[in-house]
A and B are shown apart, each in its own frame.
Chain A
């Protein structure tokens, strides 16, 4: 069902760039400050296209901060500053001439707690396309397609005009995912998307991620190591350095990180000796 949905006509396809076939998002030597406090130190990460990359590590190690740099969400917090480079298809998103609005369309985000707008289910998914000025029939089509992609369509197709706030927590989170998919992003950032969900709803999200990675590049922050091991292709382990700034300790294929960690600190964390 999901496959047929994607076969439908492409609505305003995202502009194709000269894509480096492998690396979609390349963070190089990123430093980040909240005022005087340095939260990230020399963090680098090469996110592969159409793979799932997980950021793991103990609380406060800068996972979420790192993730939010990728689509410049940190712009919203006064007093923040980022240096280094985050290359999206070769273009540095941290450079001042980046069109943030366009960037966020290309790099969508799913938050820790489901945050549907207090509007109808339909309006939630339609909001992104509506901003882009797509036509009514196009929007109808993309709403249906996005809801099908997230497995919500059959659950909500008879009550699209009802408030999204009446949905269950898991449904709300999938609705938020549908809302993000509706603007046809290339990368989806997920900030502990299942931390507020029960195990069954979590499983739904994880299954969806496996479907979605055929078309999208996914970066997920999780404090749940089992989740990282289950869903991701690559894993980055982060840790606070002595000055409390987050660093990427080790990055590689998930299998290597969990079974053959090179760094003793990674091994300690994986085996549950701290964190």
Chain B
């Protein structure tokens, strides 16, 4: 009886430790989120926040329209570069990469993951800004694309490796060529994981500031030409937070909240889409 009691106590203890760990992880995130909502909401409700670019110093009002457009465009172009390429390399690694080449790519990608994000900014600066003699949104997109690449690639590989071998065998046993099985069976089965990886990468890219500093530079006017300097929400947060004006600091909080919301909405939409096509 006492041994049974001891086992029950141990079970309770372990459960309690696990719950504690979950709380320790979840609470800081939730507090952070709550804080951003509380501090960001007033700024977000200011008229013109969504629709107008920043006003000159001293002129009240103004918003982050330029930065919304900038973030969407910079991250959008970056994703167009990184996601297809990264997914293809991920497919290669999983289906054909059990060799030297695969190991090299994996190692390089892991090193890339560990690089501080400002290094990607320097890369964008060296490759595009310095050669074109001009700051531009496209150079920021390229920097972010390189930053996203390892995330997309490893997520795709992991998702594909999880597809049971028996599905590949089923396809091949029907007389399907290997590439067809990969494209028509394996990739659709892993689509959820691939999309999740792409979203994770996009979310990370959207929040990055350092890679944009020497590339997109920032722009207080609304700019859609990718060859020109461009604002971005993360840059707005960075710049306004350092200014001694409460109104602009509030705007920085609001821009941070908007970033969170944009990432969350993209995530939810993508999940609904994946669930629908996988049924």
Q: Which residues of A does B touch, CB under 8 Å?
A: 71, 73, 76, 78, 101-105, 108-109, 111, 113, 115-120, 127-128, 131-132, 162-163, 176, 179-180, 183
Top 9 nearest A-B pairs (CB, nearest first) are: A105-B175, A109-B173, A115-B166, A128-B174, A104-B175, A115-B170, A101-B175, A131-B176, A118-B189
A111-B170 in contact (CB<8A): yes
Kindly list chain B residues whose C-beta atoms are within 8 Å of the C-beta of A78. 98
Q: A117-B185, A183-B174 are in contact. List 11 more A-B contacts (CB 8 A).
A: A71-B173, A76-B168, A76-B169, A76-B172, A111-B166, A115-B167, A118-B189, A127-B174, A127-B184, A176-B170, A180-B173
Question: Which single member of B98, B175, B188 contacts A119 (CB below 8 Å)?
Answer: B188
Q: Using CB atoms, name the residue of chain A closest to B189.
A: A118
B169-A111 in contact (CB<8A): yes
A104-B167 in contact (CB<8A): no
**0 or 1 for each of B247-279: is its CB under 8 Å from A? (1 = yes):** 000000000000000000000000000000011
B170-A73 in contact (CB<8A): no
In chain B, positions 23-60 with a C-beta closer than 8 Å to chain A are none
CB distance from B238 to the nearest CB of A (A): 44
A interface secondary structure, majority: mixed
Kindly list chain B residues whose C-beta atoms are within 8 Å of the C-beta of A180. 173-174
Kindly list chain A residues whose C-beta atoms are within 8 Å of the C-beta of B171. 117, 127
Cα–Cα, bound, A179→B98 (Å)? 30
Kindly list chain B residues whose C-beta atoms are within 8 Å of the C-beta of A131. 174-176, 180
**0 or 1 for each of B80-103: is its CB under 8 Å from A? (1 = yes):** 000000000000000000100000
Cα–Cα, bound, A275→B171 (Å)? 33
B177 at the interface (CB under 8 A from A): yes
B173-A118 in contact (CB<8A): no
Kindly list chain A residues whose C-beta atoms are within 8 Å of the C-beta of B166. 111, 113, 115
CB distance from A144 to the nearest CB of B (A): 18
Kindly list chain B residues whose C-beta atoms are within 8 Å of the C-beta of A109. 169, 173
Kindly list chain A residues whose C-beta atoms are within 8 Å of the C-beta of B172. 73, 76, 104
Q: How large is the interface on B (under 10, 10 to 19, 20 to 34, 35 or more residues)?
A: 20 to 34
B189-A108 in contact (CB<8A): no
CB distance from B35 to the nearest CB of A (A): 41
Kindly list chain A residues whose C-beta atoms are within 8 Å of the C-beta of B189. 117-118
User: Which one of B98, B174, B185, B278 has the highest number of Cβ atoms from chain A below 10 Å of its Cβ?
Assistant: B174
Kindly list chain A residues whose C-beta atoms are within 8 Å of the C-beta of B244. none
Q: Using CB atoms, name the residue of chain B closest to A75.
A: B172
Kindly list chain A residues whose C-beta atoms are within 8 Å of the C-beta of B188. 118-119
Cα–Cα, bound, A180→B172 (Å)? 11
B164 at the interface (CB under 8 A from A): yes
Cα–Cα, bound, A203→B2 (Å)? 50
Q: Using CB atoms, name the residue of chain B closest to A131.
A: B176
11 chain-A/chain-B pairs, Cβ below 8 angstroms = A76-B168, A78-B98, A104-B175, A109-B169, A117-B189, A128-B174, A128-B176, A162-B279, A176-B170, A183-B174, A183-B175
B174-A108 in contact (CB<8A): yes
Q: Using CB atoms, name the residue of chain B closest to A118.
A: B189
Answer whether A104 and B174 are a contact pair too, CB < 8 Å, given A115-B164, A119-B188, A163-B279. yes
**0 or 1 for each of B178-190: is its CB under 8 Å from A? (1 = yes):** 0010001100110
Kindly list chain B residues whose C-beta atoms are within 8 Å of the C-beta of A108. 173-174
Cα–Cα, bound, A132→B172 (Å)? 13
Kindly list chain B residues whose C-beta atoms are within 8 Å of the C-beta of A163. 279
Answer whether A115 and B169 are a contact pair too, CB < 8 Å, given A78-B98, A131-B180, A163-B279. yes
Cα–Cα, bound, A56→B107 (Å)? 46
Cα–Cα, bound, A115→B165 (Å)? 10
Question: Which single member of A76, A116, A118 contacts B278 (CB below 8 Å)?
Answer: A118
In chain B, positions 162-220 with a C-beta closer than 8 Å to chain A are 164, 166-177, 180, 184-185, 188-189
A104-B177 in contact (CB<8A): no
User: Which one of B98, B166, B168, B176 has the highest number of Cβ atoms from chain A below 10 Å of its Cβ?
Assistant: B176
Cα–Cα, bound, A163→B277 (Å)? 11
B98-A101 in contact (CB<8A): no
Cα–Cα, bound, A118→B159 (Å)? 15
CB distance from B32 to the nearest CB of A (A): 37
Kindly list chain B residues whose C-beta atoms are within 8 Å of the C-beta of A119. 188
User: Which one of B164, B170, B180 has the highest number of Cβ atoms from chain A below 10 Å of its Cβ?
Assistant: B170
A104-B278 in contact (CB<8A): no
A128-B175 in contact (CB<8A): yes
CB distance from B169 to the nearest CB of A (A): 7
User: Which one of A73, A119, A132, A180 has the highest number of Cβ atoms from chain B below 10 Å of its Cβ?
Assistant: A119
